[in-house]
Amino acid sequence: MNTNDFLKRLLFLLLFPLLIFRCGNSPFKKEKQELLKQDSSVYATQNFSDLRVDSLQIAGMVLHDHALDSFYSLIFDFYRRRDFQAAWFTDNCFTTQGHDFVNRLRNYIEIYGDSAVLGDRLLLTADSVVLNPRLGFNVVQSRPLLDILLTSTFFKYANREYYGTNSSTRDLEWYIPRKKKNYLQLIDALIHSDSSYSIYEPLSPAYAALKKHLIVYRKIQKQGGLPFVDSATLLLKLGDSSAHLITLKKYLFQTGDLSIGDSTSYYTPALSSAISAFQGRMGLAISGKLDLITRNELNVAIENRILQIMVNLERLRWAPDSLPRDYLVINIPEFKLHVIEENANLWDMRIIVGKGASVTSIFSGHLSQIIFRPYWNVPQSIIVKEMLPILRNDPGYIIRQHMEVLSNGNLVSPYSINWKSYKKSVPFLIRQQPGKDNALGLILFNFNNPFDIYMHDTPAKGLFAADKRAFSHGCIRLEDAAKLAKYIYRRDSTFTDEKLRTLMTEGKETKYAVRPSIAVFVGYFTAWSDADGRLNFRKDVYELDNKLANEIFVKIRQL
């Protein structure tokens, strides 16, 4: 098909719906009337372009592409507020910003491998109409349609790049509230000056940093990927020589773990340090030696790593693009709590998260209270599944575990209860008394949330030695709860080390307010760029990556 035939088909496809709308039965009529009730002013009094678009052409474009249904009001409002003047053409010439946007789209396709959001029609039209201005009168006729097509594509692109899937993130186990993005502000910035566009991009620094790593990994993929590390390398140690080490060094140089290229075959201290750096980025035990677990991580296919990065970029699209200056963030796959002060990672702490059916939920809240020497009110689920089988034959278990039974606020002897008569629940409160053996330890950090999840101390300190720490019933156990409490009250001169010690070791349960409250984000990221700019990967402990990948990439193919 020659170019003129292509343009004729394009114009027919885009203009045919307009013939229908001129009959007066527009499905958008009500929405347009509502839009016209809004602010009728335009962005400025000066003329943006001598080219105009028609409101019916906008409606026809949307009818032709159902992927635009949810963006119709934005597209219409954008043109209405500029008095239906074209956005990408002026004096019948394609603007510099138009060229920049088309290049941005091409870069998007190259980085994310997502061409469905744009469609071949746009790129073919851009190539035919924009890059060859001598095609005749059809070019002039098609410019308003191309202008609308570019604007429509911008909203699809912006939604995909900055908002992500339109599905409910709760179905994907994510309960941190999402905010709508201001796409009108974005497109205004782009058509006036591409250089100012980045200022308005609703992206967190974490997103931008991880996206840079995706670009690097795409480049490595195009160059043939990362080399395979042979099992024979496992037998080597410092000072040995082997051709297999040349391959390993090449790998670690490509990933940035080995700072200086080295084509020699010797197992050097620099190579050992590079292995340690790689192990740290993977969350492995750091030894500087190539063990089997490290080799398995080295040989994860680059396609899988790219997919892992893209899945986590999707999660970062859901995350708030602006955060308070001070907050706490928990990354479940990393098994760590990070203390953020003045937008910088001040320090972090190992944590234990939920296991199996008691996974830790992904949500946000505000830490508003600290309880010293807390009681532990045993959840009914634990009573039924874990305690009842024991209590039916041994009521003394309650006493040995430093627990007590209450009925309507009154203590009841566990020996007076017929535990065998209960199966699905018990009509009592069972709680563990404060002290060093309490399951919550000596400090509990409350932040309101619908999942009844909180952070707390634990007497089982030995569990923190494990690399994978999914052992709890859903709450978050802290390696050093006293350190976090001391940090939270750092500005209170009355909260001395002696006071903290007394609150933890003496007396009954004591509750202290946290004012102002502190934002807490419980997230789930298996790939991220750390404070030093290093790309980190972690195991998908709750197997959520594949679920999300199936959701977003199937939707991309359906656009």
Over residues 7-13, mean pLDDT? 39
Residue pointed to by tokens 């972690």: 538
Does residue 130 surpass a pLDDT of 70? no
> Phi and psi (nearest 5°) for 478?
-105, 140
Q: Hey, is 442 helix, strand or coil?
A: coil
Amino acid 194: pLDDT: 60
Over residues 432-436, mean pLDDT? 92
- Write down how long the chain is: 559
**Tens digit of each residue's pLDDT (9 = 90 or more) over 52-67:** 888 888 888 888 777 7
Does residue 9 surpass a pLDDT of 80? no
Over residues 226-235, mean pLDDT? 91
**Tens digit of each residue's pLDDT (9 = 90 or more) over 244-268:** 999 999 999 999 999 998 999 999 9
Amino acid 132: pLDDT: 47
Q: Two tokens at 41? A: 């002013």
Cβ within 8 Å of residue 375, ≥6 positions away: 431, 432, 433, 434, 438, 509
Alpha helices in 193-265 (DSSP H): 194-200, 205-222, 243-254
At position 303, the amino acid (one-letter code) is E
User: From CA 345, how far away is CA 477, in angstroms rounded?
Assistant: 20
Give me the domains of the chain, ranges plus CATH numbers. Answer: 3-202 (no CATH), 211-304 (1.10.101), 323-537 (2.40.440.10)
Amino acid 348: pLDDT: 96
Contact indicator for 189, 196 with CB cutoff of 8 Å: yes
CB atoms near residue 149 (< 10 Å): 24
Does residue 501 surpass a pLDDT of 60? yes
Largest Cα–Cα distance in the chain? 96
Amino acid 545: pLDDT: 92
Does residue 175 surpass a pLDDT of 90? no
**Tens digit of each residue's pLDDT (9 = 90 or more) over 298-353:** 999 999 999 999 999 999 988 887 788 999 999 999 999 999 999 899 999 999 99
Amino acid 304: pLDDT: 94
pLDDT band at 376 (very low <50, low <70, confident <90, very high): very high
Contact indicator for 499, 506 with CB cutoff of 8 Å: no
Range of 38-47, 49-58, 187-196 with top mean pLDDT: 49-58
Beta bridge partners of 537: 527
pLDDT band at 3 (very low <50, low <70, confident <90, very high): very low
Among residues 137, 216, 190, 173, the alpha carbon closest in space to that of 354 is found at 173
Residue pointed to by tokens 């967190």: 204
**Tens digit of each residue's pLDDT (9 = 90 or more) over 69-104:** 888 889 999 998 888 888 888 877 888 888 888 888
Amino acid 548: pLDDT: 87
User: What predicted TM-score, i.e. pTM, was given to this entire model?
Assistant: 0.81
